[in-house]
Amino acid sequence: MKEPQLPPPDIPSESANGQTGRPTRFLVIGAGSRGNAYAGAVTKATPGTIHAVAEPHPFKRREFGRNYIWGTQGSSSEGQEFADWREWVKWEISRREQASKSSNGNGHGAPTASGTTGPLGVDGVFICTLDETHVEIVQAIAPLNLHILCEKPLALSLQDCLTVYRTLQPPEGETQKPRSPSTIFSIGHVLRYSPHNTLLRKLLLTDQVIGDIVSLEHCEPVGWWHFSHSYVRGNWRRATALGDGSLLTKSCHDIDFILWLLCSPPSLETAHASGYEPHFPRSISSFGSLTQFRKARKPAAAKDATNCLSCPAEPDCKYSARKIYNDRHLAKGHTAWPVDIVSPDIEDVFKENGPKAAEVHLLSRLEENYDVAADADSTIAARPWYGRCVYEADNNVCDDQVVTLAWDDEGKAPGRLAKTATFHMIAPTEQQCQRRGRVYGTSGEIEYDSNKISIYDFATAKTTTIDVPKPPPDQKESHGGGDYGLARQFVNAIEAVVNDGLDVETAQARFVGCTLEEAVMSHAVVFAAEEARREETVVKWKDWWRMKLAASAKAWTA
């Protein structure tokens, strides 16, 4: 068994050759938690700059601008602040038309973001809005030929994922083969980019410290109150028949992580040159349900209460919204997530008027409630209700789910042998998103959690434990540094194209390490697992995927 080679503590990313060109500029659509995460990563860890923001909430937009664009003492310039993405698209089209007229006098041509004949444009866009808006936004900005990073999930149905794929890489002529990409695309699968997971993959695929992989077990412990916040009271609490449950919205990057370890080659750039095809599973099955957060589990002492602030059982309930948002967070001076999700302006209220005023402000938001008998379902579904009783909410997504994947043996080639994988997403856990797992190989085992990786060698009966370097304090809430790694690689790819003249396909493979097609297919595995769960069946991947592609192609050409 080969000795593990520990990369430098930072696991530095490849960077674009030379940075003598102009800085690349980016628009962030959506100034929520993910928009701020990527903006912070771009600002701190890349040569790129955040140039503009599109966000409907005035406070979020101004705060974002002060933090990343115009600073605390300044104000926005033309082309830096928009109330929504549609306003920006309209402005950008007009900007290009004016720049084109100024540059050649006839209005033809498409000036680049570096044009200096008027307000500056951007090179790339971060799409950080609610999941259901991603497809419409991608379709609207695709003609602008800008580089795109879209937060996960890509879309809420397989059909919409394939629509995005065909929008960004439309098929050519009668062959219906996708054209080569003209822009860089990245998806918010941050697990691929953390120092911990980069090292884990190197140990497994490059160093092969446990030989050939036989089986993998991976678990995402969501966290007992985190699940109630996001998937019972929050934006991701409802699923449709299209398969957009918690497996998609919470754990699609866990499924992608498993496929990244078990399907993909160590180097995408080298694989493309040799014509390598990913080794996808033979079959997919899944079981799961909504176990806790339903009316049948409601404590009798809560009686008819539907809101925590008017519930007689609230003092004894661990899911009390008052306890979670005020007692656990705001009362301790913590105004960031999840409190700022409930009340986006809570930090300003806290600073300007003090902790008591902030508490009153927060509780006023938690008091908001709905009446099932009087309010339309569309009204209820349109927004989160963070003070709602978790046993009286309108949620329907699984809080416990297991996915099983099985692969065929396709010969002796490394990475294409028979193997299995299981994934477990579970809500009631002490740990919050601190993923853990074990990989079984022909020469040993690897056990991992969010802090360390342990390797057991069958031949020597010895265990080697690697304490993975932790991200700096300012990256603590960044998926183990994954947000920074993802943003850095996306920006580096664009720098390589814009300033170094590297072709898009090579830059995509070298820096992003994942194609749009691969991102869509990892989403497809999630939808296949959801179909298997709903119908209590085993999905045969190749036949299933062939059928879905045919149906999508027919709909696309209709």
Q: Identify the CATH number of the domain in which residue 429 sits.
A: 3.30.360
Mean pLDDT along residues 494-509: 94
- Joined together, the tokens standing for residue 289 give 């349900």
Phi, psi of 446 (to 5 degrees): -125, 130
Residues 449, 535, single domain; the answer is yes
Task: Supply the pLDDT for residue 2.
Answer: 38
Write down the mean pLDDT value for the chain: 90
Question: What DSSP string describes 381-404?
Answer: HTS--TTB-TTSS---S-SEEEEE
- pLDDT, average across residues 487-508: 95
- Closest C-alpha to 123, from 177, 68, 63, 48: 48
Q: Is the predicted pLDDT of residue 415 greater than 80, yes or no?
A: no
Can you tell me the mean pLDDT for 234-257?
A: 91
Is 27 within 8 Å of 91 (Cβ atoms)?
A: no
Q: Give which of 148, 151, 152 is closest to 167, Cα–Cα.
A: 148
Question: By the 8 A CB rule, do 321 and 308 touch?
Answer: yes
- Establish if 86 belongs to a structural domain: no
What's the rounded mean pLDDT across residues 216-241?
A: 95
Instruction: Tell the residue number behind the tokens 């929050």, with chain if given.
Output: 234
Same domain, 451 and 418: yes
Asked if 48 contacts 25 with a C-beta cutoff of 8 angstroms, the reply is yes
Number of domains within the chain: 2
Placement of tokens 């077990």 in the chain: 217
- CA-to-CA distance for 196 and 81, rounded, in angstroms? 36
Q: Whose CA is closest to 288, among 527, 525, 533, 532?
A: 533
Only one residue has tokens 């520990």, namely 6
The distance from CA 339 to its chain's CA centroid, rounded to whole angstroms, is: 21
DSSP state of 513: -
Q: What is the pLDDT of residues 99-130, one digit of tens each?
A: 888 766 433 333 445 445 578 999 999 999 99
Question: In terms of domains, do 197 and 263 share one?
Answer: yes
Q: Over 70: is that where the pLDDT of 247 sits?
A: yes
Q: Which residues span the domain enclosing 207?
A: 191-280+398-474+525-557
Q: Are residues 327 and 216 in the same domain?
A: no
Q: How many CA atoms lie within 13 A of 218 on its CB side?
A: 26
Cα-flanking dihedrals φ and ψ of residue 382, to 5°? Answer: -75, -15
Is the residue at 110 inside a domain?
no
Residue 70 lies in a domain: no
Looking at the structure, do residues 267 and 306 belong to the same domain, yes or no? Answer: no
- How many residues belong to the chain? 558
Does residue 37 lie within any of the structural domains? no
Mean pLDDT across the stretch 430-459?
96
Same-domain pairing of 466 and 374? no
